[in-house]
Amino acid sequence: DAKTTQPNSMESNEEEPVHLPCNHSTISGTDYIHWYRQLPSQGPEYVIHGLTSNVNNRMASLAIAEDRKSSTLILHRATLRDAAVYYCILFHPYSGGGADGLTFGKGTHLIIQP
Amino acid sequence: DAGVTQSPTHLIKTRGQQVTLRCSPKSGHDTVSWYQQALGQGPQFIFQYYEEEERQRGNFPDRFSGHQFPNYSSELNVNALLLGDSALYLCASSLARKGGSPLHFGNGTRLTVT
C-alpha cells in the first residue's frame, strides 16, 4: 500500500512556481523521499530525491519538513511541458545491497494553464 | 548512453496464453524492477531482480515470474493470462547500493488480453 498522501490534482499557470505537497507521516528513519513524474504514454521519470536536507537540481527543488513527515516538490517556473502526474514515494534501501520496491500511489495530476 | 529499453512496445494476447516481456537496463545498472500499471492508476511493484535472483516481490500471483541474465537484462513472464492482466508493464533499472539510488524507467510494454 502507498505510504504517501498527495492531492489528486493541482492547477497552475505557466511561468509561475508550483508547490506539490506530499504527506508521509509513517516515514522511517532510513526512508528516502523520491519524486517521479509521468507524462502520457511514457514511463515515470526521476525528478529528485532526498533524505533529510533540502535538495536542488536542474529540474526542481525538494523541501523536507524538519520532522520528515511531509515534503514539497517545487517547480520554480512551470512550463507546459511540466504537465504530468507527479508521484511522491518512500524508498527503502535494502540492507543486502539491493533496493526495496517502490510503492506508488495515484499521484498528483498537475495541470498547467497557458 | 542508452536508457532502459523494453520490447515489444505493444502486444495482444488471448486469455489463457503466456507472454514474455523483455527489458535491457540502463548502461551500468545492475538491478531490474518490474511494475504493472493499470489505466488511471500508479505503477504497482511486481518484483525486483539483483544478481540474477528475485530479491523482493509485490502482491502478485505465481503466474508472474521473471529472470535476470548475466548481462543484467531481464524478462517478465506471465502464464495463463487473464483479462485483468491487460496493463502497461514497466521495467526500471537502478544501481544497487545503499542510499536510495533512483530508478530509471523504460516506456513500457502495453499488453492487451482479449
Taking contacts as CB-CB distances below 8 angstroms, the residues of chain B near A85 are: 42
Chain-wide mean pLDDT for chain A? 89
Contact B104 A49 (CB under 8 A): no
Long-range Cβ contact pairs of A44-47 (< 8 A, separation 24 or more): A44/A87, A44/A104, A44/B43, A44/B90, A44/B92, A44/B103, A44/B105, A45/B105, A46/B102, A46/B103, A46/B104, A47/A73, A47/A86
Grid cell, residue B86, equals 491487460
Q: What's the full length of chain A, in residues?
A: 114
Q: Which of residues 53-82 of A touch B (CB under 8 A)?
A: none
Q: With bands split at pLDDT 50, 70 and 90, how would you rate the model's confidence at B75?
A: very high
Nearest CA in chain A to B59: A1
The answer to whether residue A27 neighbours chain B at the CB level (below 8 Å) is no
Q: With bands split at pLDDT 50, 70 and 90, how would you rate the model's confidence at A96?
A: very low
Nearest CA in chain A to B47: A101
Taking contacts as CB-CB distances below 8 angstroms, the residues of chain B near A46 are: 102-104
More confident residue, A9 or B59: A9
The 10s digit of each residue's pLDDT in A29-75 is 888 899 999 998 899 999 999 999 999 999 999 999 999 999 999 99
A–B interface: beta-carbon pairs under 8 A: 78
The 10s digit of each residue's pLDDT in B95-114 is 876 456 788 999 999 999 99
Q: How many angstroms away from the CA of A14 is the closest CA of chain B? A: 25
Nearest CA in chain B to A108: B42
| CA dist., res. A108 & res. B11, Å (int) | 29
